[in-house]
Amino acid sequence: MPHSIRIELAEGAEEIGLAVMLRDLLTQNLEQNRHKIADFYKLNLPIGLSVSDAEIKLTLDFAHGSLMISNGLTRKVGLDITADCETIMNLPNQRIKWGLPYYFDETGKEILAAMKSGRLKVKGIMRFFPTLIRFSRVMSVH
């Protein structure tokens, strides 16, 4: 991983399994898919991630090549993503085609169904749509 990329856990976040998993997933994605680094550098917004059925809340504070993952919503976030555990775990499996999330395979249809049913909510989607797309591309394991 380039020296200028930093993905860290804030104090207390190392005890949250989801925070550790996200750090490891993003680190691996950036190491194995160098083309994702450009999107990672363009992320410059705190993103809230809440797991509705596990009472877990994280802040992913992106700042041009660095990410600090904190336990709880530690500051005002631009994008606020809330979903159940199953949906959160499925998000990295979403395919990216033509630079956008792909909703026409099984995983994509499951994510759309979660949005339609309210199991997946994204506040700030209209204002920060480019950030959501970049975040999706960086998170995707495909």
**pLDDT score recorded for residue 76:** 93
pLDDT exceeds cutoff 70 at 1? no
Whether 62 is covered by a domain: the verdict is yes
**pLDDT score recorded for residue 82:** 97
Whether 105 is covered by a domain: the verdict is yes
CATH of the domain at 40: 3.30.1050.10
In total, how many domains does the chain have?
A: 1
33: enclosing H helix or E strand: none
Cα–Cα distance for residue pair 43/68, rounded to 1 Å: 12
What's the chain's length in residues? 142
Whether 91 is covered by a domain: the verdict is yes
Q: Which domain holds residue 45?
A: 6-139
Whether 129 is covered by a domain: the verdict is yes
Whether 39 is covered by a domain: the verdict is yes
Whether 1 is covered by a domain: the verdict is no
What letter represents residue 3's amino acid? H
Q: Tell me if 85 sits within 8 A of 120, measured CB to CB.
A: no
Q: What would the pLDDT profile of 70-129 be if each residue is shown by its tens digit? A: 999 988 999 999 999 999 999 999 999 998 999 999 999 999 999 999 999 999 999 999
Q: Which of 52, 48, 55, 3 is nearest to 22 (CA)?
A: 48
Whether 55 is covered by a domain: the verdict is yes
Whether 78 is covered by a domain: the verdict is yes
Cα radius of gyration rounded to whole Å, the chain: 14
**pLDDT score recorded for residue 2:** 54
Give buried/exposed letters for 107-121 (b at 16+ CB in 10 A, else e).
bbebbeebbeeebbe
